[in-house]
Amino acid sequence: MRCLFLNDLEQKILENSKTYAEAKGFALNSDEKILNAVIAGLAKNARQHGKPYCPCRALTGSEEEDAKNVCPCAFHLEEIEKDGHCKCRLFFK
């Protein structure tokens, strides 16, 4: 999988996502365009909000509620089991 990233933060998020996916037996999205978009969204949220919140989920402003949306989010396992992928389409079964 070839990914062209613009900065170190995106590269770090990609590496962390790969490590997590391998540990859980998941795969990252094989569509490079979608993968790049999700990683870029995670990096943008990390820069703007201090944590890599899933770009597919709206933040509420409540630190407790929003903590559930830090990637990998609290919902991804159920989504992968049900749909074969998480809502952001970062992780696949």
- The domains of the chain are located at 8-92
Q: Under a CB-based contact definition with an 8 Å cutoff, are residues 53 and 66 in contact? A: yes
**CA–centroid distance for 80 within its chain:** 13
The class level of CATH for 8-92 reads alpha beta
Band (3; pLDDT cuts 50, 70, 90): low
pLDDT at residue 5, rounded to an integer? 53
Residue 44 CA to residue 39 CA, distance in Å, equals 9
Band (2; pLDDT cuts 50, 70, 90): very low
- Total count of residues recorded for the chain: 93
pLDDT in tens, 77-89: 999 999 999 999 9
The per-type count for the chain, helices as H runs and strands as E runs, is: 4, 2
Q: What is the mean pLDDT of residues 47-72?
A: 96
